[in-house]
């Protein structure tokens, strides 16, 4: 049975506890919250080693540096995907990131509109 996982960031998460497992006839999906994007590498590596995960999908909020760290952590045998945002949604994604980081509305990241 193929296993895959989706990792996303939630500041107070405990990846061992904060997860959802969906078992189907032919696959298992594991959705895991990590406390920071920087923690995703070790979590992904443990999912590969302990759960047999062969595909890791990462939230679009992860930087390319974080994605590279996950790729390095899981090795070349595991596929790593990274969600991206359509051009039309970049302003909304920037506004969300600013709000999550506690920046005031109108910061440089939230004023650009397409």
Query: How does strand 19-23 pair with strand 28-34?
Result: antiparallel
Question: What SS3 state is found at 7?
Answer: strand
The predicted pLDDT at position 94 comes to 85
The predicted pLDDT at position 105 comes to 55
Beta bridge partners of 107: none
Question: What SS3 state is found at 85?
Answer: coil
Low-confidence stretches of the chain (pLDDT beneath 70):
103-114
The predicted pLDDT at position 90 comes to 87
**Using CA atoms in the order 43, 59, 14, 16, what is the torsion angle rounded to 10 degrees?**
-50
DSSP string, 21-54: EEE-SS-EEEEEEESSGGGHHHHHHHHHHHH---
What ranges do the domains of the chain cover? 3-83, 85-114
């Amino acid at each position: 049975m193929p296993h895959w996982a989706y990792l996303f960031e939630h500041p107070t998460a405990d990846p061992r506890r904060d997860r959802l497992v969906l078992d189907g006839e032919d696959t298992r999906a594991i959705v895991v919250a990590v406390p920071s994007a920087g923690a995703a590498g070790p979590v992904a590596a443990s999912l590969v080693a302990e759960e047999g995960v062969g595909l890791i999908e990462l939230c679009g909020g992860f930087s390319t540096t974080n994605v590279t760290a996950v790729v390095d952590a899981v090795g070349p045998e595991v596929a790593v995907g990274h969600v991206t945002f359509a051009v039309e949604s970049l302003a909304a994604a920037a506004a969300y990131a600013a709000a999550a980081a506690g920046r005031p509305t109108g910061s440089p990241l939230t004023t650009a509109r397409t």
